[in-house]
Amino acid sequence: MNTFDAIFSRKSVRHFQYEKLEWDVISDILEYANSLPLLIEGIAIEFKLVSNIEANQGFNNPFSVRAPYYICISSENKEDYLLNAGYLMQQLNLYITAKGLGTCFVLSGPGRGLKASMKYEYVIALAFGKTVSSPYRDSSKAKRLPESDVVVYKEEVTPDIKQIINAARLAPSAYNSQPWRFVVYKNRIHIFTKKNSFLAKALDYNKMIDMGIMLANLLLASEELWVDTSLTKSDTLKNKLFQNNEYVCTVIIG
Ligand SMILES: Cc1cc2nc3c(=O)[nH]c(=O)nc-3n(C[C@H](O)[C@H](O)[C@H](O)COP(=O)(O)O)c2cc1C
């Protein structure tokens, strides 16, 4: 299984075996993390591995997913840093999944001491480890909004572009909120995020992490299917006020 296959077969895992992983496996994951290209250049980040096997180092909050290992990302707080962090963490998520291990993103904090030990601002963690049951499921079993709720096709597109959109829609999101919306043409995909109500503004933080996670799926699928893409932002769309959605970026195809 490669990371592309993992997009379609992964699921969040919340029950782990408290068993040590071989050091080779851990060091390979860290090496992969540190080799990932950034989505947005010029944002310093750091990955931090936390093992709760021998000593409890964090994530003791009763609402946290309990796992033997966590990998955390901290980042400089600059424009689009949450998008960048989500993008990196999802690639790591798929890489770890492809190794046969279970994963789950964790919102509830790592604890004050652990946070303070991070180089930059803590963003999000990914719990991982050996699982009790299979970390895989068929993509048809994933609970996702119907395509017609999140995608508008403005033109007839190729099956590859449909597959890329499908990969994007399968991305995990906090509370499975799926904040992404797509306007698709033959040669570009405009990406929007659903506006939260005034009361749900607190969810805006997770939303941009979710959008980065989704972008990782979208760009990885494009690469796998040999569809050339580049990311840009349209000034016109950026400055336009939409009632229910906010513009994020455009993926140029070809
Ligand atoms: C940014 C983010 C934070 C998440 N935080 C938690 C969490 O704190 N606890 C939890 O059980 N699941 C968490 N999840 C997992 C989501 O609930 C899950 O991805 C979503 O319900 C879709 O299910 P699936 O991943 O099995 O496809 C998180 C997911 C994301 C992307």
Q: How far is the CA of 18 from the centre of ligand 1 (A)?
A: 21
Give residue 224's region: left, alpha or beta (phi > 0; psi -120 to 50): alpha
Query: Phi and psi dihedrals of 76, rounded to 5?
Result: -65, 140
**What's the confidence (pLDDT) of residue 170?**
98
**What's the confidence (pLDDT) of residue 201?**
74
**What's the confidence (pLDDT) of residue 168?**
98
* Per-residue pLDDT reduced to its tens digit, 167-178: 999 999 999 999
104 lines ligand 1 (CB under 6 A): yes
Domain end point (choices 129, 159, 186): 129
Q: How far is the CA of 22 from the centre of ligand 1 (A)?
A: 26
Q: How far is the CA of 127 from the centre of ligand 1 (A)?
A: 11
Question: Do 114 and 8 belong to one domain?
Answer: yes
Pocket test for ligand 1, best of 8, 9, 11, 12 (most atoms within 8 A of CB): 12
Q: Report if residue 194 sits inside a domain.
A: yes
Query: Phi and psi dihedrals of 10, rounded to 5?
Result: -75, 160
Question: Do 205 and 244 belong to one domain?
Answer: yes
Question: Do 207 and 238 belong to one domain?
Answer: yes
**What's the confidence (pLDDT) of residue 127?**
98
* Per-residue pLDDT reduced to its tens digit, 12-26: 999 999 999 999 999
d(CA 150, CA 144): 10
* Per-residue pLDDT reduced to its tens digit, 69-95: 999 999 999 999 999 999 999 999 999
- Judged against a pLDDT cut of 80, whether residue 200 lies above it is answered with no
Give percent of the chain above pLDDT 90.
87
Q: Residue 20 maps to which CATH number?
A: 3.40.109.10
Whether the predicted model's global pTM rises above the 0.95 cut: yes
Q: How far is the CA of 157 from the centre of ligand 1 (A)?
A: 31
85 lines ligand 1 (CB under 6 A): no
* Per-residue pLDDT reduced to its tens digit, 99-123: 999 999 998 879 999 999 999 999 9
Per DSSP, 225 falls in state: T
174 lines ligand 1 (CB under 6 A): yes
Ligand 1 atom closest to the Cα of residue 64 is 8
Q: Residue 225 maps to which CATH number?
A: 3.40.109.30
The count of structural domains within the chain is 2
The angle subtended at Cα 101 by Cα 95 and Cα 84, nearest 5°, is: 35
Expressed as residue numbers, the domain containing 30 is: 3-129
Tokens found for residue 99: 């190794």
Radius of gyration of the chain (CA): 18
Pocket test for ligand 1, best of 82, 105, 138, 170 (most atoms within 8 A of CB): 105
Domain end point (choices 96, 129, 162): 129
Q: Report if residue 134 sits inside a domain.
A: no
Rounded to an integer, what is the distance from CA 222 to the centroid of its chain? 16
Ligand 1 atom closest to the Cα of residue 107 is 8
d(CA 229, CA 252): 5
**What's the confidence (pLDDT) of residue 130?**
97
d(CA 156, CA 210): 27
**What's the confidence (pLDDT) of residue 63?**
84
Query: Phi and psi dihedrals of 22, rounded to 5?
Result: -55, 145
E strands along 169-244, which residues?
180-184, 188-194, 229-232
Q: Report if residue 137 sits inside a domain.
A: no
**What's the confidence (pLDDT) of residue 31?**
98
Nearest to 7 by CA among 166, 130, 209: 166
